[in-house]
Amino acid sequence: MELEKPDLYRLSEDGRTLVLRGGRCASCKELSFPLTRYGCPKCGAEPDQVSEEMMDGRAQLLTFLTIHTKLIPGMTPPVVVGEAEIAPGMIEEIMLDGTEERYSDGMMLQAVPVEITKGEATMIACRFAPAEG
């Protein structure tokens, strides 16, 4: 099945989790996410200086809430989103699987593949869920 945003993540080897596609800059040594075609967003180095570095998809949940209103086309509320630290000092907005009762601030999360439908197509999207163990 097709990935919804293949530029951001890949299925892990066992297919149960997702790994995130970061970039490591040879010039400033910094990790950035996501890996883009444009180069290093930290120091501005050319794209050939940035190489792909897979991130394990583990994240610490900082804050979350439920969106109750359809804010963008194709969205079916309620949707739970939050901010999580996906690498040390790297805070990203993420989408959480299921309802907010499953979550609490500070808990560890794991990026997981979740089937979604977009128009006619079924795809694998990245959602975060409570990490096992």
Partner 1 sequence: MVTLKEARPVYVIGVGMHKYQFVSDTLYIDMGLTAVRAALKDAGIAFPEVESAYIGCTGIGMAAGRIMFNHLGSTGLACTQVENASASGSSAFQMAVHEVALGRRDVSIAVGVDKYGDQVRAVSKEAVNRLSDTAAIPLVKYAIMAEYLSKEKGLTGEDLALVASKNHTNASKNPFAQFQKPRSVEQVLAANTVAGTTTSLMCCPRGEGAAAAIVCSEEAIRRLGITAEPIRVTASALQSEKPQQGREIPSVTLAQEVTEMVYQEAGITAADLDCVELHDAFAIEEILYTETFGLAPKGEGQHFLRAGGSAIGGQCCVNSSGGLIGQGHPLGPTGIGQIHEIVNQLRGRNGERQQPDAKIGMAHMIGLGSIAIAHILQKEV
- For Zn ion, the binding residues (CB under 5 A) are 25, 27-28, 40, 42-43, 45
54 sits near partner 1 (criterion: CB under 8 A)? no
Q: Write the burial class of residue 35 (CB in 10 Å: 0-12 exposed, 13-18 middle, 19+ buried).
A: buried
Please say whether the beta carbons of 129 and 109 come within 8 A: yes
Could you tell me the smallest distance in angstroms from the CB atom of residue 60 to partner 1? Answer: 13
# binding residues, partner 1 (CB under 8 A): 32
30 sits near partner 1 (criterion: CB under 8 A)? no
Helix, strand, coil percentages in the chain from 3-state DSSP, rounded to 5: 5, 50, 45
34 sits near partner 1 (criterion: CB under 8 A)? yes
The span from the CA of 86 to the CA of 88, in Å, is 7
- Binder among 51, 63, 99, 122 for partner 1 (CB under 8 A): 63
- Cα angle at 57 between 133 and 113, to 5 degrees? 90
Point out which residues bind partner 1 (CB under 8 A): 5, 7-8, 20, 34, 36-38, 62-69, 71-72, 74-75, 79, 81-83, 86, 91-95, 105, 126
